[in-house]
Structure 1
Amino acid sequence: MTEPRTSVAAAAASRGARLTAEGFGSFLIVFLGVGASLFTATLFADPGAGSAVNLTVALAFGIALLAAFSSFAGISGGHFSPAVTIGAAAAGRLAWRDALPYVLAQVVGAVIASTALIVVGLFGPERWLERVQDAGFASTGWGTLSPGGFGMPAVIVIEIILTALLVLVFLSVTHPERRTAAGGVAIGLTFAAIQFVAIPVAGGAANPARAIATAIYGGIGPLAQLWVFLVFPGVAAAAIGIAYRALFDGTVEPDGGESDDDSGGWSSLTQP
């Protein structure tokens, strides 16, 4: 059985450094993205300004992911979402033994970020924090928690498709041999585009750590619906990771024939 393929830079970093990088990156994304959602929604209270809020929040998430990837991808691989970590492990880019620590680091970073936003809210205008928590604290959800009033089946479809697209782009632009120079830009823009679609339907998508971080402060409703934003992104990520490895990581034999060798031509890059 072959070892997972990973970048040389990520392989050189210690596990502690990689987990710290994932935590910081997750903090950055949640603090800026969810912060934009909470504060921008308060500033643009006019119902007709909803599109401006969605634009601002989607771009904040995308730019934050671009910044996190540019800063920490060379250390940890730049996942910052449990869905991406599961997809990377399923594609053979990360050892499964490292997947759970990565996910825990991401969730911890995200929860610290949402807690920091709570602290900011404590010193905000009168009853501001109470109002945003009563409104769900920018949590993901369906029914009454969906900005557009969409039901659970719509949210499930959104989570599956958008998570698969994000993981597909990530695996493509970070491929050890076929990587894209502007990979961080591609991933960030993809994440922003995902939020354009997801915000009206579910409030966001493709990042279970972000869903956890807001649900714990959003009340019973978001917590009760949280399972959808954990299960379906994980399933979609695992499926697209396996599919990517099968479809794109085959090797070419010297005689021109194709091989299904698991190593995918990457035996020189191993996980520490």
Structure 2
Amino acid sequence: MSESKGLPATGDTQHEGCMMDPDTETTAAQLLKPTTLAALRAVAEFTGSFLICFAVYAVCSWGRIPAGTSALEAATTWALAFLAAGSIFGKFCGAHFNPAVTFAAMFTAQIGWIQGLSYILAQFLGAIAAGGVVVSLLPLTTENDGRAWLTVAVNGFDKGSPSADMLGKFHLSFNVTLAIVAELIASLIVVAVAITSLRDDGRPKRGHVWRSAMAYGVAVMITYPVTGAGLNPARSTGIALFAHGTGLEADPISQLPIFIVCPLMAGAVVGLVVILCHMVLDGARAKLDTAPESSIDMPAALVGGADAPQESVHTEAGDEGADAHDTKTDESRSEDQNSAAEPAGGAMAAESGDSSQEQHDAQVGGDQS
């Protein structure tokens, strides 16, 4: 029975003593119909976004009751939640779980635009579902309108910042400029790590989930004291919808555009940089394919490997050095021969002069006789 091209054989994946490359192995998901696969991937993004946002909302609401929520605890929650969701769904959908990451992947053609839009919709729906579940579980009373629970769970700046109460004692606040800069830089870290750890076809590379989880941990440490760590438009939207009208110092809906625009802007910047890098590399490859090898002035490691080009370069340099050495040797030998010929020529001239003088004297003597 013949096997389809590119599909792994059943049973062991060993062939001639070598393990198959997992990066080229066809997964079972790739055998599904495109529409079915796209729908399942969207469901995976929905579920993963729900799990991550539920964990973040829970820790920042009822989880802060014992001793509050520190930046370290928030960063750990983000990282572990993404690690858990990515471990479950990463190989299946790429583990975006963030509209900014999907937006950048759409720019770099790592995911199609239709599939990308379905991802973004699923991510927002997952975050909204998580926000609704968390708020519905909070023990609210007529005296408690939610400010005790949702102040840190929402994203905001100035009076909406998690540090507003502490800074207010000194008549200070985190303004919108600081919020934009912090969110933009932190989102660049998250999106850049995610995009560079995805393959050209959108599949995750090895370590994609770990790298992204660590990036989220660093980004949350940067932004949590300022804004409560947005980084993800879906995460910011999901809880803001249910915190609206609960009597918070700052209305989360009015400040929400900052936490949607900044991550998406970071995604656009990362996508543009990746495209420019690909253009430069494609131009270099085209130059290698069309121009003669001898006319390309490039490092040896870029010509075609790490060892062979270096040997070629060293060989050419050695040949040139040998030719120069031979030329210098021939010149030295010529100079030595000329130096040796000069005394010999002088001696012969002297002997010729003496002989001519003797012949002249003999002739004069004969005339006198």
Please confirm whether the aligned pair reaches a TM-score higher than 0.5, indicating the same fold: yes
Which of 199, 203, 217 is equivalent to 2:228? 203
Return the offset for 1:171: 1.3
* Cα distance in 2, alignment partners of residues 140 and 73 from structure 1: 27
Equivalence map 1:108-257=2 (5 Å)? 108-122=125-139, 130-132=146-148, 135-136=150-151, 138-148=153-163, 149-176=173-200, 180-220=205-245, 221-248=251-278, 250-251=281-282, 253=285, 256=288
Distance in structure 1 (CA, Å) of the matches to 2:26 and 2:114: 18
> Contact 1:139–1:214 at 8 Å: present in 2 too?
yes
Cα separation, partners in 2 of 1:12 and 1:38, compared to 1, 3 Å: farther
Q: Deviations over 1:168-208 (max 9, x none)?
A: 10111223499642221111011011111110011013100
Equivalent residue, structure 1, for 2:310:
none
Report the TM-score when normalising by structure 2. 0.60
The aligned amino acid for 1:211 is: S
Q: Please report how far the alpha carbon of residue 84 of structure 1 lies from its aligned counterpart in structure 2 after TM superposition.
A: 0.6
- Deviation per CA, 1:28-52: give whole Å up to 9, x if none: 100112211112321115xxxx6xx
Counterpart of 2:356 in structure 1 is: none
Change (3 A) 1:121 1:236: same
- 1:141/1:202 contact within 8 Å kept: yes
Alpha-carbon deviation of 1:127?
5.9
Alpha-carbon distance in structure 2 between the residues aligned to 1:28 and 1:202: 21
Q: Residue type of the partner of 2:66?
A: L
2:361 counterpart residue number: none
Contact 1:155 1:202 in 2 (8 A): yes
Give RMSD over aligned pairs. Answer: 2.7
Q: Distance in 2 between matches of 1:18 and 1:234?
A: 21
TM-score by length of 1: 0.80
Specify the SS of the correspondent of 1:141: coil
Q: Percent of aligned pairs with the same residue?
A: 27
1:64 maps to which of 81, 91, 100: 81
Unaligned runs of 5+ in 1: 1-6, 259-272
Name the CA distance, whole Å, in 1 between partners of 2:26 and 2:268: 24
Deviations 1:47-79 (A, max 9, x none): xxx6xx221121111111111111112221111
Contact 1:136 1:217 in 2 (8 A): no
Q: Shift of the alpha carbon at 1:219? A: 2.0
Closer, same or farther: CA 109–43 of 1 in aligned 2, 3 Å: same
User: What is the rounded CA distance, in whole Å, between the counterparts of 1:162 and 1:130 in structure 2?
Assistant: 29
Q: Give, in whole Å, the separation in 1 of the partners of 2:274 and 2:288.
A: 21
Structure 1 residue identity aligned to 2:270? I
The runs of 5 or more residues in structure 2 that have no matched partner are 1-24, 164-172, 246-250, 291-369
Q: Which has the higher contact order (CA 8 A, sep 6+)?
A: 1
Match of 1:44 among 48, 52, 67: 67
CA distance in 2, matches of 1:128, 1:75: 42
Larger Rg: 2
SS class of match (2:110): coil
Asked if 1 retains the 8 angstrom alpha-carbon contact of 2:98 and 2:123, the reply is yes
Indicate the SS of the match to 2:146. helix
How far, CA to CA, are the matches of 1:107 and 1:31 in structure 2? 13
| Aligned residue in 2 for 1:265 | none
Which amino acid is the alignment partner of residue 197 of structure 1? I
Distance (whole Å) between structure 1 residues aligned to residue 200 and residue 30 of structure 2: 12
Please say if residues 62 and 189 of structure 1, whose CA atoms lie closer than 8 Å, have aligned partners that are also in contact. yes
Asked if the contact 2:59–2:77 (Cα under 8 Å) also holds between the matched residues in 1, the reply is yes
Displacement of 1:218 in angstroms is 1.8
Paired residue for 1:262?
Answer: none
Query: Distance between the aligned counterparts of 2:231 and 2:238, measured in 1?
Result: 14
The answer on whether the counterparts of 1:172 and 1:179 sit within 8 Å (CA) in structure 2 is no
> Which amino acid in 2 is paired with 1:225?
Q
The 1-side partners of 2:135 and 2:264 are apart by: 28
How many residues are matched? Answer: 244
Structure 1 CA distance for aligned equivalents of residues 183 and 216 of structure 2? 13
